[in-house]
Structure 1
Amino acid sequence: MTPDTRSAALDIERMRADVAGMLGEAPEAIGDDDNLIDLGLDSMRVLGLVLAWSNTGIALEFSHLAEHATLAGWWRVVQRLQASTERA
């Protein structure tokens, strides 16, 4: 399953759904603090998520997410990027 490619604003629930889709899991199976690598998310899937989420207008890069292994960590990164995009 591939991430949703719509360009709507990115929120944590869309991120959770997209990660779950990549892993073949239900969104509710992905906890905020679960280690996504331990759940089976590999670098190629992360890259796919980065590409899909970049369509929302934020300057997201693989390196931003590679520093974190949880959805909560990723969400903090996205929030910072969204805030900086809004200020620009």
Structure 2
Amino acid sequence: MPAPLTLEGFRADLAEYLYLRPDEVDLDENPLYAGLDSLRIVTLIERWRETGVDVTFVELAERTSFAQWWQLLSTRQEAAR
């Protein structure tokens, strides 16, 4: 079973694509305003699916902050266990 996605891992994944340090990721920021394009979002989704979290691009696109992304991911992860 893959290691679960943690908030720290989530922040680190975002930071990698935003060219920030994990502690610089503002969870209240809108992902599109932060600079994530659709290709990066798809790449993140694939990475998170490897941890057992199943989300779609549309589900993430409907949410307007990284905090809302994390809420969705963590809820899905709990449901999968």
TM-score relative to the length of structure 1: 0.81
Task: Give how far 1:69 is off.
Answer: 2.8
1: CA distance, partners of 2:7 / 2:65? 12
Q: Which amino acid aligns with 2:68?
A: G
Greater per-residue helix proportion: 2
Task: Give how far 1:28 is off.
Answer: 1.3
Q: Is 2:44 the partner of 1:42?
A: no
Question: For residues 21-60 of structure 1, what are the alpha-carbon distances to aligned partners after superposition, in whole Å with 9 as ceiling and x for unaligned?
Answer: 0111111111110122111111110000000000011222
- For structure 2, the 5+ residue unaligned runs are none
Q: CA RMSD in A?
A: 1.3
- The structure 2 residue matched to 1:80, chosen from 67, 75, 79, is 75
Task: Give how far 1:73 is off.
Answer: 0.3
1: CA distance, partners of 2:45 / 2:11? 13
1: CA distance, partners of 2:59 / 2:3? 20
1: CA distance, partners of 2:50 / 2:77? 12
Aligned residues: 80
Aligned runs of 1:1-88 on 2, under 5 Å? 7-86=2-81
Identity among equivalent pairs (%): 35
Runs (4+) of structure 1 moved beyond 6 Å?
A: none
Task: Give how far 1:63 is off.
Answer: 1.9
**Does the CA-based 8 Å contact 2:48-2:54 persist in structure 1?**
no
3-state SS in 2 of match to 1:38 = helix
- For structure 1, the 5+ residue unaligned runs are 1-6
